[in-house]
Amino acid sequence: MGKRILVAGAGHGGLAAAADLARRGYDVTVFEQNKREDLGYDWTDIFAPRSLLAANVPYPPRAKYEYKENMTFFSPSQSIGLKQDIPEKELEIKMERKDIYTHLLSHAEKCGVKLRFSCKIKGPVMLGSRVAGLFIDGGETVYGDLVIDAAGLDSPVRTALPPVCGVENDVGSFEQFFSYRAFYERTGDFEPEDKFKVYLLHEGEMGVVWLATEDGHADVLIGRFEPFGMDEVNRVLDLLKRNNPQIGGKLVRGGSFAKIPVRQPLSVMVADGWAAIGDSAFMTIPLIGSGIANSLKASHMLVKTITEDKDSAFTAATLWKYQREYFKQLGNGHAAMAVMKLFLLRLNPYELDFIFEKGILTAKEFTISSETTNIQSMLKLSFKEFLERAKSVCTDRILLTKILKVSSRLASTFAITAMMPRTYNRAAVTKWADTYTSFFTKLEK
């Protein structure tokens, strides 16, 4: 019998890693609090399909997905809309969240993963500084050689790890997006020019609102950096309907609140007997909140690290390779995008309007998808374009100061992420993690 691996929560990356490990002979069990039929939200998600192949998961049946529409990003005054033009090879797919789960679960079962539903995890079992298992609601204790933490943003495992593990437990302000998502009946039969609208600082509020007009419904998402309730949802809907009469009054699907991490990746993703993946390790793209593709890509890196650990020690030292690889391929770029997110948050609606009007940001920069892994690929400017935009920025001194500040912060981010220790040494890792975390903490103030 192979080593025993416990997966906390049926997160996307956790399920993909579970399948790949079970296929390779590990004894893998997933513990999920929900019933099987209740997994996933009642809405569609957008992600890069190639991430499934990266995780050794086959493509879903063609009938189960469509290609996503390009999004049009609107300035706060709504006078300018910049439409993406995602290249064909980077097109993302749109799929029902429940179908993504059905696909991942049936693949995991075929590979030999044991799935335990309606099984709420209370916290980690610690033996000294090692995570040795999981406490399950109802009094059960399960032990394993490794716990893969795929239990999401508020994971009961990560949030309860003792300080000796050196892992951040909590999520700071401006690091999570509170969102409401609902599908409303669609009224009228006209085709809007922009089928997928994203409003930045909608009506001056810090956050975004999107409206995707589909054949049978209007898909609305409201996102804020503070929790909000139905009064705010109804207020925003009324404002949105003024320019979008296709949003009907009847709620047809969804209609729930959920959180999305929108921050730099977790500073330390591994400990003795523990590795985090997906939202638990904050693997979303901070500017857009897409996390499915990254967690699938991360599953391959984690499986590779686990299988290369020939003694199955699964210590922070042997699992460190996983963290290094994640940051190298994705995390370093996402940390820089977290800095950009904080910059955009500090702009007032007038400054953002100015940026749209003067072409300082264009549709090219908004052509961002779950395949966008770094700032450089977002800002592909020719020298001439750079000079033209710099000239416009120089006409607004306050904006110029903010842009110079964010440029130096981006340079610091690259320097800090490049300093991540190559091999695991507790003191060196703790020192590096403190520098990385305090850099972002200061930026958020």
Ligand X SMILES: Cc1cc2nc3c(=O)[nH]c(=O)nc-3n(C[C@H](O)[C@H](O)[C@H](O)COP(=O)(O)OP(=O)(O)OC[C@H]3O[C@@H](n4cnc5c(N)ncnc54)[C@H](O)[C@@H]3O)c2cc1C
Residues that bind ligand X (CB under 6 A): 9-13, 31-34, 39, 45-47, 120-121, 150-152, 156, 179, 181, 221, 258, 260, 278-280, 284, 289-293, 295, 370
Residue 10, Cβ density class (10 Å: 0-12 exposed, 13-18 middle, ≥19 buried) = buried
CB of 440 to ligand X, least distance (A): 19
Instruction: Rank residues 224 and 409 by Cβ distance to ligand X and give the closer one.
Output: 224
CB of 226 to ligand X, least distance (A): 15
The residue type found at 259 is: K
Q: d(Cα 92, Cα 45) in Å, to the nearest integer?
A: 10
**Tokens representing residue 251 in the block:** 């709620």
Instruction: Rank residues 279 and 353 by Cβ distance to ligand X and give the closer one.
Output: 279
Q: Are 305 and 319 in contact (CB under 8 A)?
A: yes
Q: Are 78 and 353 in contact (CB under 8 A)?
A: no
Instruction: Rank residues 14 and 355 by Cβ distance to ligand X and give the closer one.
Output: 14
Biggest CA–CA distance in the chain, Å, is 68
Q: d(Cα 333, Cα 341) in Å, to the nearest integer?
A: 12
CB of 113 to ligand X, least distance (A): 15
Q: Are 71 and 369 in contact (CB under 8 A)?
A: no
CB of 158 to ligand X, least distance (A): 10
8-state DSSP, 327: I
| H-only helix segments in 258-370 | 292-308, 316-326, 332-345, 349-357
Instruction: Rank residues 166 and 291 by Cβ distance to ligand X and give the closer one.
Output: 291
CB of 119 to ligand X, least distance (A): 6
CB of 152 to ligand X, least distance (A): 3
Q: d(Cα 8, Cα 163) in Å, to the nearest integer?
A: 20
CB of 207 to ligand X, least distance (A): 12
| H-only helix segments in 187-329 | 230-243, 292-308, 316-326
| Alpha-carbon distances, residue 17 vs 11, 187, 304 (angstroms) | 10, 43, 10
Q: 399, 294, 249: which is closest to 45 by C-alpha?
A: 294
CB of 137 to ligand X, least distance (A): 8
Instruction: Rank residues 12 and 300 by Cβ distance to ligand X and give the closer one.
Output: 12
Instruction: Rank residues 12 and 241 by Cβ distance to ligand X and give the closer one.
Output: 12
CB of 314 to ligand X, least distance (A): 20
Instruction: Rank residues 96 and 396 by Cβ distance to ligand X and give the closer one.
Output: 96
Instruction: Rank residues 28 and 150 by Cβ distance to ligand X and give the closer one.
Output: 150
Q: 407, 431, 410, 408: which is closest to 419 by C-alpha?
A: 431
**Tokens representing residue 262 in the block:** 């929108």
**How many CB atoms are closer than 10 A to CB 50?**
18
CB of 88 to ligand X, least distance (A): 19
Q: d(Cα 316, Cα 176) in Å, to the nearest integer?
A: 27
Question: To which H or E segment does residue 383 belong?
Answer: helix 383-394
Q: Are 268 and 199 in contact (CB under 8 A)?
A: no
Instruction: Rank residues 48 and 340 by Cβ distance to ligand X and give the closer one.
Output: 48
Instruction: Rank residues 10 and 360 by Cβ distance to ligand X and give the closer one.
Output: 10
**Tokens representing residue 95 in the block:** 């799929």
